[in-house]
Structure 1
Amino acid sequence: MGDRKAEHTASQTELQEIASKISDLNKWRNVFSFHSSEISNSTHQQGDGSTGSGVPGAREPSGLQPPVPLPRSAIPEPLLISPDTGGRPISLEMAMELRKLLFGNVFQLFSCEWAKACFRFREPYSDLAYALETGKGGARAILMAVQAYIIKYLLFIRTTEYSHLERLCRVSRQEQGEALAAALADTLWAAGQGGRASICLITAAIHVVPSSDYKADNFTERFKDEQSHGVILFLYSLLFSRTLERVQEDLDSTAAPLLKCSFGNITCTQAMLSLLLTGRASPLELDGSQELGPRGEGIEAWWQRCPVGYLRWSRAQAERQVCPRLRTPCLPIWLCSITGKYSVLFGTDSQILSDWKRERVFHLYFYNGQLEQTKTAHLTIDTHSHHWEEDQSEDPSSPGKRHLSVEMAIRTKWTGATVSWNGTDPFF
């Protein structure tokens, strides 16, 4: 008995030392810029009072320190993974399953546009110091979803002397990295149901030998390139954190993949957005017509409010609504899909959605991710305007209606609200 107890104690000490070494590796700093390719898993047990939401600050993984900052750019330096990180190489079966879940087949490859997509901030200490640069392709949806979690961390999680919008403008390069690390950790732990997170890293060695049933892309097999493939690595990490088996269950045996390919463009499906925002890849998770949650999770999980919300507006599908818990998240931050383009809408008052008195007249801020936008748009929302004086017979989606698409997206949450742009030339 004494020997077993001693062995157990030694094992516990050894595990703690391993966890400490992993923390010291700064792997979060280089998670999307290593020249190696392994899947590194981290797990922890939920303690009493944990919510399983993966929210930074609410619960830290057992035995691991909080993630360290990532660099401003995902362009890597030639670094190698230490052999004791505990990762395992990808197999041919895993690579094929990844491809099937993402594209529906094993022959489709990521476009150059996706391969170049990475997490890059605007200049620190500027009007958009909190903001990520995004392109115009399909990877923009993922970048803007991460942007929403970055804003969540900077506004409502971290401790700072600054207040309101200044909290986002007075961000240093180091704080940019900290915010990105927290945002990525937030989504990965949520996908792992608060109990696990997997991180995909690039390897120089080829671990998968292509076959006649699998078309190699020289990336999934070894992840070796001059650029970081930051968004793709994060996407892979998200799927492995959820586990490929659970993702398939989320899809409920549907044939629809997580990404849609059309005329050379690769875009995110509703299931992919659901995985980013809720941790589950359910194709109906964002749809307001679904009354119950995913199979086996019940109505309580379905109505539980999410940390970050989602608003959607399209003139072609003006009647489609997002589920209530995403229109009314825990915090006033929304990923927006407006006529198929992605942006972020947010407020600095955490009580907007919990105190009806604050919803009479309040302020929101809008960022569309494009380089043309040099300053955060300041919007004033009036939910008690005289909207009944408008011509009720006129279709709000008609060409003659003066409301912009972003205003119509806001109206999916606050019916009849008016929006003032406070001197900014309206766009979107």
Structure 2
Amino acid sequence: MSGRRGRRVPAGRELADHLIERINDLRLENPYPGKVVGRISQYSEILGGYIRSYAFQYEDDASYFQGSIFFESPADDKGIATVEATFIILDEEHEEGEAGRIVGQNVYDSTAGFYGYRDSIANIYLTAYCSKIDRWVIAYERFDSYFDDVIPGCPPFYENESGSRVSQFWIDTIRQIIESLSCIHGEGVVHGRMYSSKSYVVDSNMTLKLVNIGRYSRSGVSTSHGDITGFFDYLCSQSSLGVSSSQEWVGFEYLYRSEEAMNNRSSWENALLDHPILLRPPAKLVCYMDIHGWTSRLNMRMRLNFANALYCKMPSYLELIQRGEREGLWDFIDKDCNLCVDMAGRIFMDKIYIDIIYFVRHFADHGRDYGEDWNAECIHDKIWTLFPGYMSMAYSVREVNYRDSNQANAAWNRLFSSSNLQRLNRRALPY
């Protein structure tokens, strides 16, 4: 009996590997109109298998591209599973060739460790060299757009015209980014370009996520404080939001730009999260009382320094009194409010900067005694109308000093030396 010998058929695991390889080859051989296709062999802990290929829709004028990743999944009977992904091309001058590989690997290493972190850091799937476009690419879990594109449809930044209260959407957004930065900084990772609109994306559920972590980070140049200020600079650059238009933001900005406060690894996150601008009115009033308690524990010298620091940031209060246009705290108060008349007459004299803090504390404490209409929102709004942004700045001035300490620090000393304080008779300042 004679005849040609048939092709050997692999068995067992060898057969499975053969079929997987053949299926993958067929995928790559199939036409993808308008798509860029690449083949790699890279294990992904996030996907739980070896990535075999990827494909994405490429357009010359786009900054990100939708596509898919094909990977060998032990959990999939068919051998090859597919996951949707969004691709970003490393297309800047310093990201060509070997430099692109280094940047891509740095982004991958800087991001992969935060897989699943509160959904606020985009999961990264791969970094690979794509020969079809002669560039390195990064693949993230699918996102729908950059945050910039959806901001016009977001709620207003301030929920009232006075700018005294930030809307809940933006409070949640800011807190989410602060917590994410605290997480990556805690692992020694710096984002490097938080001021860029290309650092923020949203998925189909409108969940905000960070991307490009580590892509622009430069040793000895990029800092964690730079990430913090970069994020807030990004928010302020959105002209439609009017972020920096409120006196409440002025105090907050002084805090997040303070190197003393923001370089303290153990406290910078809480210092920002506990700022009045990120609290709802009931919590704001509790914060005001805490500021009063801290002030009352200061010794005489430090209370003078605290008042001097407040003067340096808000000189208008003392200047009005010195020009004779106001007569102490009394003239700042709405005399039609029985509570204000009663409290100002009993407690306060002419030490304006400390007096305001004491007044606010008692106003917040006893306001509810003056009728059911005086809820937390009402009390907060009346305080803000009297002293717009004052407690925001008082909180921040406190935080740039060593907390609960009677030791002066460099931040306050710089305020004193850079202001007109040296030309004043310090005995005329409040304590």
In the superposition, the TM-score normalised over structure 1's length comes to: 0.28
Higher relative contact order (CA 8 A, sep 6+): 1
In the superposition, the TM-score normalised over structure 2's length comes to: 0.27
Structure of greater Rg: 2
Q: Write 1 or 2 for the structure with the bigger share of helix.
A: 2
